[in-house]
Structure formats: structure tokens, C-alpha cells
Structure 1
Amino acid sequence: MEQRQIFSSALYGILAILTLVLAASFIVSLFLRFSSMEESSVAWFLVLFSFLAVFIGGFIAGGKAKRKGWLVGGATAVLYTLVIFLVQFLGYNQLFDLQQSLMHAGYTGASVLGGILGVNLIGGNFRE
């Protein structure tokens, strides 16, 4: 039962992450299309927003699970990394390089932190 709750909560976090990332990608693509900005000028913004989106996803997952925020946040990050890896490998026939591996390690840390805070701030006061 507990594993189903962890997986279900992680799926809520993944849904939140993907929604935020897709919305930001759409907005940034509109700016790039209809302004004179170039991709290099928004690269750091996208990296920071990705970390924020993964943190929010971990926060939502931790709040939904109501316990073990570090585990739920970690599961959310691992599922997100798996989705990105599958898209990149199956769609572009490329593996992660060192920079991407480090980015996803950072995503895991951000999601774990979000999960811990989600449990403690919105998860209620559940005690075993």
C-alpha cells in the first residue's frame, strides 16, 4: 500500500513538472519567435526554471504523500530523469553526457528538498 502511495504521489509531481516545463517552453518559444532575442540569451533562465519546476514537483509530491518526503522527492526526480532519458535516447539516439548527468543529479537534490518541505509544510502532522 505504501509503495502505491509513493508512486502515485511521484506521478502527481511528474505531471506538475511536465506542465510547468511545457508552459515555460511555449512562452519562451513565443519570445524567441516574435522578438530579436536569441537562444543563448535565455539559456540560463531555462536552467533556473527547470530547477524550480523540479523543486515544485517534489514539493507537490511530498505534500500529496504526507510522509517520507525525501523518498517521494527522489522518486519524482528519478521518474523525471527516466522520461527525459527515454525521449532523448529513443527520439534522438543519444545518451546523457557528463553535463546532463550533473544537471539531473542537481534535479534530484532539488526534488528531494522540495519533497521534504512539501511533507513538512502541506503534508499535515502525521506521526507513526
Structure 2
Amino acid sequence: MTKNRMTALAYGWGTIFTMMILSSLILALILKFTSMTETTLQWATLILGLLILFIGGFISGAKGNEKGWMLGIFTGLGFSLIVLLFQYLGFQEGMGMTQLFYHGGYILMALLGGMIGVNVGGKST
């Protein structure tokens, strides 16, 4: 991988984790100060996660300027790997089948974002 692609991945991952932390804070505050239950927020967290991974893949693709599909896949895989490491090392739990489907969707959204990001970001001269 070239330095340009690694920089693009770093931007994508940084965007994803920043947005995840902010959205987690907002959702926690909503859960605390409203009458919403955790089950009500389950769909919101899934949709937010998919949207955030799309944005992260988009930024990776736009920064990388080429091979958006590859940047998107690596952005999604890197996110899933970090989540797996936190879960396994922190809680001694592996990924269940439901989580594998979720992370498959996350990777696909990052891939789609990367492909669109390359085409929208344009070529640098």
C-alpha cells in the first residue's frame, strides 16, 4: 500500500471513530433524558452505524483518489477488526452470528462509500 492510501485509510478510520463516539454520547443522553428504551434505540444505532461507515468509506475514497472499492473494504475491515479486538480482549467474547451480519453490512456500506467517494472526490493533479 502506498502512503497516500494509508493516509486515506487513517482519515476514514479517524472519521468513523470520532463520529461513533459523538453519536454514542448523543444516544446515551437521549436514552437518559427521554422515555425511550434501549430496544427503541436498536434500529437507530444500526442505521447510524451504517451511515457512519458509509461516510468513513466515502472519505477514504475521496482522499485516496483511486481504488475506492479497496479503500472501502479496508476501512470497513479495519473498523470491524478493532471492534472485535476490543470485544475479545476487553470482554472475552467473540462475535456472534448477528454481529457478523451487522459487520458484513458495515463493510458493504464502507465499500459503497469508498466507490462513490473516489468518483465524487475527483482526481488530484
- TM interval, short-chain normalised: over 0.9
Partner of 2:35, secondary structure, is: coil
Q: CA deviation at 1:31?
A: 1.0
Structural RMSD (CA): 1.4
Counterpart residue identity of residue 77, structure 2: V
Spell out the pairing of 1:68-87 with structure 2 (5 A cutoff).
Answer: 68-87=67-86
Runs (5+) with no aligned partner, structure 2: none
Aligned equivalents of 1:27, 1:11: Cα separation in 2:
24
Partner of 2:55, secondary structure, is: helix
Q: Is the 8 Å Cα contact of residues 13 and 76 (structure 1) preserved in structure 2?
A: yes
Would you say 1:67 and 2:100 are equivalent positions?
Answer: no
Aligned equivalents of 1:5, 1:97: Cα separation in 2:
35
TM-score, normalised by the number of residues in structure 1: 0.92
Partner of 2:2, secondary structure, is: helix
Residue in 1 that maps onto 2:120? 121
Aligned equivalents of 2:14, 2:109: Cα separation in 1:
16
Would you say 1:24 and 2:20 are equivalent positions?
Answer: no
Residue in 2 that maps onto 1:46? 45
Q: CA deviation at 1:56?
A: 0.2
Counterpart residue identity of residue 42, structure 1: L
Q: CA deviation at 1:5?
A: 2.0
| Structure 1 stretches of at least 4 aligned residues deviating more than 3 Å after TM superposition | none
Counterpart residue identity of residue 10, structure 1: L
Aligned equivalents of 2:35, 2:103: Cα separation in 1:
31
Aligned equivalents of 2:99, 2:3: Cα separation in 1:
29
Runs (5+) with no aligned partner, structure 1: none
Aligned residues: 125
Q: CA deviation at 1:126?
A: 5.9
CA-to-aligned-CA distance 1:52-86 (integer Å, 9 cap, x gap): 00000000000000000000011101110111001
TM-score, normalised by the number of residues in structure 2: 0.95
**Identity value in percent:** 34
Would you say 1:55 and 2:64 are equivalent positions?
Answer: no
